[in-house]
Amino acid sequence: MNLLRRKKLGVSWVQGELHVALVIADKFIDGWHAPAPVNDLSQFNMALAEAVLALDAQEADISFVYESEVLSHPYLQVPPLSNKDLLLYLQQRVNQDNEDGKPQLFTYRKSLSSHDKQGVLLHVIEENFLDVLVRICSEFHLYPITFVPLSAIMQQEMFRFEVAENEVILMVALFDHLTEILVVRGDGETLFLRDLGYATHSGSTERITTEIKRSMLYANQQFMMPVQRICLIGLEAEGVSEAIKGEFDLPVECAKDNLEQYFWAYEVSMLSRTVPNNLLPLKHQFKRSSRQMRLTTAGLLAALVTVAVMMFLEVEYLVWSEKPEPQVIDVAMEKALSNRDALAHQVEERRTIDARLSQLTAGENAPVSAWFLSQLPSLISHPLVLKDVWVKREGGIWNFVIVGQLQGAVSDAPAALEIFEKHIQAGEIQARVTRSWSEGWFDAIRLGGVAVKKTVEFRIEGTL
């Protein structure tokens, strides 16, 4: 299957509101929404059956943005810890707060420190919920790759606005039965999240104005950071932003989109599986690849058996024919054995690949590392040569470092590096570059380390 034409489903399931977007080649094709609230997995099963039928969406990757009481977002203040110790500490806290004893999954994002404490925003969900969700999807030949809270999409949307790195933005997501407020800095650093389990924009705008002002006051008092911009996203965002502009002495904006009710579903379909706060375990993220490998191996084995049977029948026919020619038999045998050996070699290669895939999906860092590395060769071009690549998960975020070398004239490098960096930030990878190649490049120029014909290195850092 052409990967660019592969079907993708984006599912927005927020406080019972279920919207499904069908996306092909990164373009919105069609959408479906549940006519009634979907409040549990049994109702989701029935709703998904209708959506798949309406959109003809079997054999597709599927991504979820989700909010309900099943997914909690506790905010913790912890003493300064290393990433390893912090992970252990958070696991203990999750276990400690787990009253029913059922296995829980969590991701976290560090937020700005308050006083002498480190802020941490947790996202916690019952593991069985995701296991059942994956099984439901598999019944329709759908392959989950991401399951993220609403705040993950909101943070992605922030980068669409032209904001400075130190600018503080208050983002408001509007739904029929939910309002979520996220206060974040322009560099992606979270201050805090407020999950209001009710709509604040229905009818009068007084309630949403009050909630925004409360959030602004808290940001100023707790972090000494005044909010400098308000951004609204979602249902009736444009009308609400116009209605409340007069209440604030700072810019009030709304996200511009043409997808209306399918906005969130489309946006989550565009996320990479390596997006921060993806709650879906790795064992589920790579099921499609594992299944395809198993099918390919099974097909090759079947072909090998078929060749063996045909070889046997052909030899039997030649032997028992009236005038068997030894040379003809030898040629047929040689051809059959050659075909058998070639297929056996392919089967062995597939088994090796399948074994490697199993090893990758069993590890914590390896799958994403291998996936990221597999994407890079198709993006690099002359005069760029890769030397080293590091991918590591720290604090729930995948960080990467790419180090390469320029071959040939240095004057040819800037254009190639610019294209390479853009490719990393788009398409399947959708990385966020935190240190561009140009920073080290211009440092080298200032220090006199770049000559017109001298080979120099480049370095790109970022998050997946």
DSSP structure string for 205-255: SHHHHHHHHHHHHHHHHHHS----EEEEEETTHHHHHHHHGGG-SS-EEE-
> E strands, 38-189, where?
60-67, 75-78, 104-114, 117-126, 142-149, 168-174, 179-185
Amino acid at 55: L
Cα–Cα nearest to 268, from 61, 439, 448, 41: 61
- Secondary structure class of 222 (helix, strand, coil): helix
Residue 14, beta-bridge partner list: 17, 67
Report the distance separating Cα 164 and Cα 364, nearest Å: 34
What are the CA-CA distances from residue 108 to residues 44, 89, 266 (Å)? 26, 12, 24
Could you state, in chain order, the average pLDDT of each consecutive group of 10 residues for the chain (464 residues)? 69 94 92 94 94 91 93 87 84 86 87 74 92 93 92 82 85 87 86 81 78 92 90 84 90 76 90 83 65 54 64 59 58 70 69 56 57 78 83 77 80 80 77 81 52 66 85
- Only one residue has tokens 């919207």, namely 19
Residues across the chain:
464
119-154 b/e (C-beta count within 10 Å ≥ 16 → b): bbbbbbbbeebbeebbebbeebebbbbbbbbbbbbb
- Angle (CA) 153-398-419 rounded to 5° is 80
Contact 125, 105 (CB under 8 A): yes
Q: Give the model's pLDDT for residue 196.
A: 84
- Secondary structure class of 281 (helix, strand, coil): coil
- Secondary structure class of 70 (helix, strand, coil): coil
- Only one residue has tokens 């490697």, namely 356
Q: Give the model's pLDDT for residue 102.
A: 86
- Secondary structure class of 23 (helix, strand, coil): strand
Q: Give the model's pLDDT for residue 395.
A: 63
> E strands, 36-103, where?
60-67, 75-78
Residue 146, beta-bridge partner list: 63
Q: Give the model's pLDDT for residue 158.
A: 79
Contact 462, 435 (CB under 8 A): yes
Contact 7, 60 (CB under 8 A): yes
Contact 251, 169 (CB under 8 A): no
Regarding beta strands 60-67 and 142-149, do their DSSP bridges make them parallel or antiparallel, or are they unpaired? Answer: parallel
- Secondary structure class of 185 (helix, strand, coil): strand
